[in-house]
Amino acid sequence: MTPELRELVEELRADLAEDQPASLGYAQFGDGAAAEAVPAGTPTGLRDLLLVADGLRAGRIELRSTSTLADIQYYLDSAPDWSPIPADRAGWLVIGTRSDEPIFLERGTGAIWYFPPTGTEWAMSDTFEEIAPDLASFVHYYLLGPGYAELTPAADRWYAFLDEQGLLD
């Protein structure tokens, strides 16, 4: 995680805290995890994020915390047989969700993948795409930037917050 992205997360966390309790309805940025709380074997990019924000919910996107990461790995069991996940389940990690659909991290490369909307349930989709080369890029563009609108069906309160912060340019 770059120092700039770390600073942005911290600034946004402070801005959200100033607007509580209203902001709790559309976003929550957890405090950074203690280093010993991050599970062994956690990929570097995810480890870096968890040390800054242990769990991040922003509108319809949620990246899980150290305590809930294991709870969502069941999504791996529902991945379509044609996708690369069933052949190498250990090579993938579900790091969060987008409107209750999984967001995957490819352990070998650090790339972020998802099943884009195709008009069918994600587990029956015929499309699986890399959305970002690493978690920091995903967070910067899709969670905290203009890419959020590409992943969600309509403008929501988080989108309005990003606009208020000048992050949609």
Q: Which long-range contacts (CB under 8 A, 24 or more apart) does 67-72 make?
A: 67/37, 69/39, 69/93, 69/95, 70/39, 72/96, 72/97, 72/102
pLDDT, one tens digit per residue, over 62-116 is 999 999 999 999 999 999 999 999 999 999 999 999 999 999 999 999 999 999 9
* DSSP structural state of residue 92: E
**pLDDT score recorded for residue 2:** 86
pLDDT, one tens digit per residue, over 1-26 is 789 999 999 999 999 999 889 889 99
Residue 140: which CATH number? 3.40.1580.10
Provide the whole-model pTM.
Answer: 0.93
Please report whether residue 169 resides in a domain: no
CA 31 to chain centre: 16
Using alpha carbons, select from 12, 54, 61, 18 the residue that is nearest to residue 37. Answer: 54
Measured CA to CA, the distance from residue 152 to residue 142 in angstroms comes to: 10
Please report whether residue 157 resides in a domain: yes
Number of domains in the chain: 1
**pLDDT score recorded for residue 118:** 87
Print the domain residue range for 11.
3-164
Q: Is the pLDDT of residue 153 over 80?
A: no
CB contact set of 61 (below 8 Å; sequence gap of 6+): 96, 97, 98, 103, 142, 143, 148, 151, 152
Please report whether residue 96 resides in a domain: yes
**Residue 54 in contact with residue 32, Cβ under 8 Å?**
yes
Cα distances (Å, whole numbers) of residue 114 to 137, 155, 168: 14, 20, 22
**pLDDT confidence band for 132 (50 / 70 / 90):** very high
Please report whether residue 32 resides in a domain: yes
